[in-house]
Structure 1
Amino acid sequence: MKKIYLVLTFTFFNLFISNAQVVGTDIGDIAPEIDLPDTKGEKVALSSLRGSLVLVDFWASWCGPCIKEQPLLIKLHNAYPDKLSIYGVSMDTKKPLWTGAIAKAKLPWTNVSDLKYWQSPVIGDYMLQSIPLNFLIDKNGIIVAKNIHGQALEDKIKTLFVE
Structure 2
Amino acid sequence: MKKTLLVLGFLCCVITSSKAQVVGVDVGNIAPEIELPDTKGNVVSLSSFRGALVLVDFWASWCGPCIKEQPTLLKLHNAYPEKLFIYGVSMDTKKPLWTGAIAKGKLPWTNVSDLKYWSSPVVSAYMLQSVPLNFLIDKNGIILAKNIHGKALEDMVNGLLTK
Give the deviation of 1:15 after TM superposition.
3.5
Residue pairs, 1:8-157, within 5 angstroms: 10-11=9-10, 14-15=13-14, 17-18=16-17, 19-157=19-157
* Structure 2 stretches lacking a partner, 5+ long: none
Give the deviation of 1:98 after TM superposition.
0.3
* Structure 1 stretches lacking a partner, 5+ long: none
What per-residue deviation string (whole Å, max 9, x for no partner) do you get for residues 130-160 of structure 1? 1000000001111001100000000000111
Matched residue SS, 2:127: coil
Q: Name the amino acid aligned to 1:14.
A: C
Q: Output the CA distance in 2 between the equivalents of 1:68 and 1:43.
A: 27
Matched residue SS, 1:129: coil
How many residue pairs match? The answer is 160
Q: Output the CA distance in 2 between the equivalents of 1:119 and 1:11.
A: 43
Sequence identity, in percent?
A: 75
Q: Output the CA distance in 2 between the equivalents of 1:11 and 1:123.
A: 38
Q: Output the CA distance in 1 between the equivalents of 2:76 and 2:141.
A: 19
Q: Output the CA distance in 2 between the equivalents of 1:89 and 1:75.
A: 19
What per-residue deviation string (whole Å, max 9, x for no partner) do you get for residues 47-106 of structure 1? 001111000000000000000000110010000001000000000000000000001111
RMSD: 1.6
Give the deviation of 1:162 after TM superposition.
3.0
Matched residue SS, 1:87: strand
Give the deviation of 1:17 after TM superposition.
4.8
Runs of 4+ displaced beyond 2 Å: 8-13, 15-18
Matched residue SS, 2:145: strand
Q: Name the amino acid aligned to 1:21.
A: Q
Matched residue SS, 2:65: helix
